[in-house]
């Protein structure tokens, strides 16, 4: 297997994991697009998907931490090492935030729209953090990939 083949396989595996995770993020975003007028129903919908997001991210982060992005790339492309270290540390922070939001959703007074709106804002922040985090990881992965295989003339 050539270096290019190895790099291609690494990228395919990592991007596949990202796609699976981002599919659940999209489901959460679908909930965010729904009207909050039915506070209780909206909370139920969010509670149906947030635990799946937490589980998906846990699985994704565990695989990532053992995979090439966090184990190989910092060694072969040291210019990314500091960013990757920060991103890896962010995994626990993201999971704790999701767990906190799930707890908030479970305890929200569904009749108090200000509580439902606050929950909605917290879910939006978690989704934005995940999207930024995954985009940054993808940027590093693709940068390392292109540096490894080079570009044609």
pLDDT digits (tens, 9 = 90+) for 72-100: 889 989 999 999 999 999 999 999 999 99
pLDDT score of 5 more than 60: no
**How many other C-beta atoms can be found within 10 angstroms of the C-beta atom of residue 40?**
12
Percent of the chain, pLDDT > 70? 85
pLDDT score of 50 more than 90: yes
Q: Can you give the pLDDT at residue 10? A: 59
Task: Pick the more confident residue, 15 or 53.
Answer: 53
User: Taking a C-beta distance cutoff of 8 angstroms, is the pair 108, 119 a contact?
Assistant: yes
Between CA 29 and CA 124 the distance in angstroms is 8
Q: Global pTM?
A: 0.84
Percent of the chain, pLDDT > 90? 60
Between CA 111 and CA 23 the distance in angstroms is 30
Between CA 134 and CA 57 the distance in angstroms is 11
Angle at 61 between CA 58 and CA 63, to 5 degrees: 105
Mean pLDDT for the stretch of residues 59-70: 87
Predicted confidence band of residue 153 (pLDDT cuts 50, 70, 90): very low
Structure tokens at 96: 């704790």
DSSP labels, 81-147: HHHHHHHHHHHHHHHHHHHHHHHHHHH--TT-HHHHHHHHHHHHHHHHHHHHHHHHHHHHHHHHHHH
> What are the residue ranges spanned by the domains of the chain?
3-146
Task: Pick the more confident residue, 10 or 100.
Answer: 100
Structure tokens at 4: 């290019």
pLDDT in tens, 121-145: 999 999 999 999 999 998 998 888 7
User: Taking a C-beta distance cutoff of 8 angstroms, is the pair 29, 127 a contact?
Assistant: yes
Q: Can you give the pLDDT at residue 68? A: 79
Predicted confidence band of residue 116 (pLDDT cuts 50, 70, 90): very high
Computed over every residue of the chain, the mean pLDDT equals 86
């Amino acid at each position: 297997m050539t270096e290019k083949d190895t790099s291609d396989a690494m990228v395919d595996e990592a991007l596949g994991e990202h796609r699976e995770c981002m599919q659940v993020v999209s489901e959460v975003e679908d909930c965010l697009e729904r009207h909050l007028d039915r506070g209780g129903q909206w909370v139920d919908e969010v509670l149906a998907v947030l635990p799946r997001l937490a589980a998906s991210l846990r699985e994704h982060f565990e695989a990532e931490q053992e995979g090439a992005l966090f184990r190989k790339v910092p060694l072969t492309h040291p210019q990314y090492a500091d960013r990757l270290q920060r991103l890896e540390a962010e995994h626990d922070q993201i999971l704790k935030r999701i767990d906190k939001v799930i707890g908030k959703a479970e305890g929200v007074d569904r009749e108090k729209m200000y509580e439902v709106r606050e929950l909605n804002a917290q879910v939006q922040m978690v989704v934005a953090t995940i999207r930024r985090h995954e985009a940054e990881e993808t940027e590093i992965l693709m940068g390392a990939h292109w540096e490894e295989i080079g570009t044609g003339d």
